[in-house]
Amino acid sequence: MRTRVKSSQAEVVIVFLLYFRLVVLKRLLRFCSATNSFCGFLSTSCQFRPWRGKRWTSPNHAQGCELISGGTCTLQASGLVTSALHVLLIQDHVLIVNLQLSVSHLEELLSQKTVAVIDVSQACAQPALTEMESSGVEKLARGILSSLRTLTDVSGQGGPVVLAVAEEQCAGWNLCSLFGILLGFPATYWFDQKRSFENCLSMVPLLVTTATASWDAVAGGSRHCFSSFSVPNVLMPETRPTLDRWTEKLQERFSQQSAFSALTLSSQTLSLPSVSL
């Protein structure tokens, strides 16, 4: 009888501990998600990066825009976020926009060709650099810049403005290339999506560069990743000048803000059986 009681007590203790760990884990995940989201807003506000993006999987995109716009408005009203941020909807992707930085970023990209466009179409034997014009990336960048200028015209009305890019305008856009540009990467992938959405990156050595910084508002500091992109090793000699300029620009922008500290750039080489773009 005593053995059964002890066994029952042990089971209760185990169940309690499992429940306790689950509750703590859920709260920790919520905290991490909240701090990551806030750091995303903050880094965009302090011009550390021009955009922050989120894919809205619900069919109700308007609801997603309202939620994010409301959150943006609340943060700005509280004074936690100082720059004016707006919302741009491209298909099922909701983007938080630092308008001033985004426009200047795209204007510089178009005038100085500050991004390396890498053709990774499935038909390629290996990744290769391609031109902005022939790949359609230049036309794409001009299209999104036009949308941002429309947003500029109405942004003085007060509060975050929500702008949806018309389906007919973004039809045919290579979203992989687009988001590489919008997120400020020094290199973006392109593939001929009229032929296939597959790529030639299987088992290709990729140099993955990651930028992290510390948000010191959290006790003990909290490290967050703000940028992560890859470049095929075989193209490093050709893309090195572009990557060096990107690093200098990032360090310059970082030095002009005080919300984050201890910027760290790290890199590692990876080869994966499949790469999803």
The residue with greater pLDDT, 74 or 239, is 239
Could you tell me if 127 and 200 are in contact, meaning their C-beta atoms sit under 8 angstroms apart? yes
Express each pLDDT in 104-151 by its tens digit: 889 999 999 999 999 999 999 999 999 999 999 999 999 889 888 877
DSSP state of 199: B
Instruction: Kindly tell me if the per-residue pLDDT of 75 is higher than 70.
Output: no
What the block records as the tokens of 13 is: 């203790």
Instruction: Kindly tell me if the per-residue pLDDT of 6 is higher than 60.
Output: no
Instruction: Kindly tell me if the per-residue pLDDT of 68 is higher than 50.
Output: yes
Structural domain boundaries, residue 172: 2-270
Give the per-residue pLDDT at 50: 56
Provide the domain count of the chain: 1
Strands 187-190 and 116-119: parallel
> Is residue 248 included in any domain, yes or no?
yes
> Is residue 277 included in any domain, yes or no?
no
Q: How many CA atoms within 13 Å lie on the side-chain side of 235?
A: 25
- Output the pTM of the full model: 0.76
Can you name the residues that pair with 208 across neighbouring β-strands? 230, 268
What the block records as the tokens of 176 is: 């992989």
Express each pLDDT in 7-57 by its tens digit: 444 444 344 344 434 443 344 334 345 556 556 656 665 555 655 555 544
> Is residue 184 included in any domain, yes or no?
yes
Which of 53-57, 172-176, 188-192, 215-219 is predicted with the least confidence, judged by mean pLDDT?
53-57
- Those residues whose C-beta lies under 8 Å from the C-beta of residue 181, and which sit 6 or more positions away, are 106, 109, 115, 137, 140, 141, 144, 188
Q: How many CA atoms within 13 Å lie on the side-chain side of 102?
A: 33
Give the per-residue pLDDT at 58: 47
Which of 112-126, 158-172, 196-210 is predicted with the least confidence, judged by mean pLDDT?
158-172
Please give the radius of gyration of the chain, using alpha carbons only, rounded to the nearest integer: 22
For the beta sheet containing 128-130, the strands, ordered from the edge strand earlier in sequence to the opposite edge, are 128-130, 116-119, 187-190
Strands 206-215 and 222-232: antiparallel
> Is residue 276 included in any domain, yes or no?
no
Using CA atoms in the order 177, 178, 180, 186, what is the torsion angle rounded to 10 degrees? 80
As a whole number of angstroms, the distance between CA 177 and CA 221 comes to 34
As a whole number of angstroms, the distance between CA 181 and CA 116 comes to 10
> Is residue 275 included in any domain, yes or no?
no
Give the per-residue pLDDT at 148: 84
